[in-house]
Amino acid sequence: MAKLNIKNAGKYTSNGASEYFTLKDDGDTARVRFLYDDPEGADIDFFLVHQVEIDGKRRYVACNAVDDEGRMHKDDCPLCKAGNRAQEKLFLQLYDEDEDKVKIWERGKNFIPKIVSFINRYGSLVKQAFDIERHGKKGDTGTTYELYALQQDNKTLEDYPEKQELEGTLIIKATVDEMYDMLDGIYKVGNNKEEKQEEAPRRRQESYEEAPRRRRRERSTDNF
């Protein structure tokens, strides 16, 4: 059965690239769902990353200095040792209800208290939509975002397209040797695939069969 409902266009294919969520100018708003349901916030995409220019593009690379217990060992990370300062970043995966798409909202650590207070208040974030409003003109470094929670409707993650595994896609996961290559400017994305096949768990290929399961909004008919 490969005949699709035209209203579901775009739901079955993923181009693999993560689209960033942005609001461009003062007063712009969007209605979104944050795709997290852990009442403790343990599922929030929060990473320690470096910014490295690779093939002329600014990329995020997971810092190698943090061990499984969350302790820092700066000597284990060539990028830290080279003076590239690691940053704590949120990569919030959200469903943009206006555009029918999962996007990633990159936020600095100053945004964490805001998200934590919503988790403390509501538990599961996915249970209600949020309106996000930008305060700050284009280019204003003091721009802030106001979040307004809408009424809970008990939607779950099952109602939305699957989230992405960010490490290994948006955030490059590099070995120590690969980090030295980055510092030497000779690292190439994708070069390491063959060698790493045994050690790196293969990412599950998303096929269209398992892509967005029954996800419908009540107002989807408004688009037509």
**Which residue stretch of 32-40, 62-70, 147-155, 183-191 sits at the interface with Zn ion (rule: CB under 5 A)?**
62-70
* Closer Cβ to Zn ion, 62 or 102, answer by number: 62
Task: Using the structure block, give the residue that is written with the tokens 């403390």.
Answer: 120
* Closer Cβ to Zn ion, 50 or 134, answer by number: 50
Contact between 65 and Zn ion per CB under 5 A: yes
* Closer Cβ to Zn ion, 62 or 129, answer by number: 62
Among 77, 94, 104, 179, binds Zn ion (CB under 5 A): 77
Contact between 52 and Zn ion per CB under 5 A: no
CB 70 within 8 A of CB 79: no
The two three-digit tokens of residue 30, written as one number: 């969007």
Minimum CB–partner distance for residue 64 and Zn ion (Å): 6
Instruction: Measure the CA–CA gap between 214 and 8, rounded to whole angstroms.
Output: 11
- Residues 6 or more apart in contact with residue 42 via CB below 8 angstroms: none
Site string for Zn ion, 86-105 (x = CB under 5 A): x-------------------
Contact between 80 and Zn ion per CB under 5 A: yes
**Which residue stretch of 70-78, 96-104, 128-136, 200-208 sits at the interface with Zn ion (rule: CB under 5 A)?**
70-78
What number of H helices and E strands is found in the chain? 3, 8
* Closer Cβ to Zn ion, 30 or 79, answer by number: 79
* Closer Cβ to Zn ion, 86 or 132, answer by number: 86
Q: Which long-range contacts (CB under 8 A, 24 or more apart) does 130-134 make?
A: 130/31, 130/32, 130/33, 130/34, 131/29, 131/30, 131/31, 131/32, 132/23, 132/29, 132/30, 132/31, 132/32, 133/23, 133/27, 133/28, 133/29, 134/23, 134/24, 134/25, 134/26, 134/27, 134/28, 134/29
Minimum CB–partner distance for residue 84 and Zn ion (Å): 7
**Which residue stretch of 10-18, 32-40, 58-66, 189-197 sits at the interface with Zn ion (rule: CB under 5 A)?**
58-66
Q: Which residues bind Zn ion (CB under 5 A)?
A: 63, 65, 77, 79-80, 86
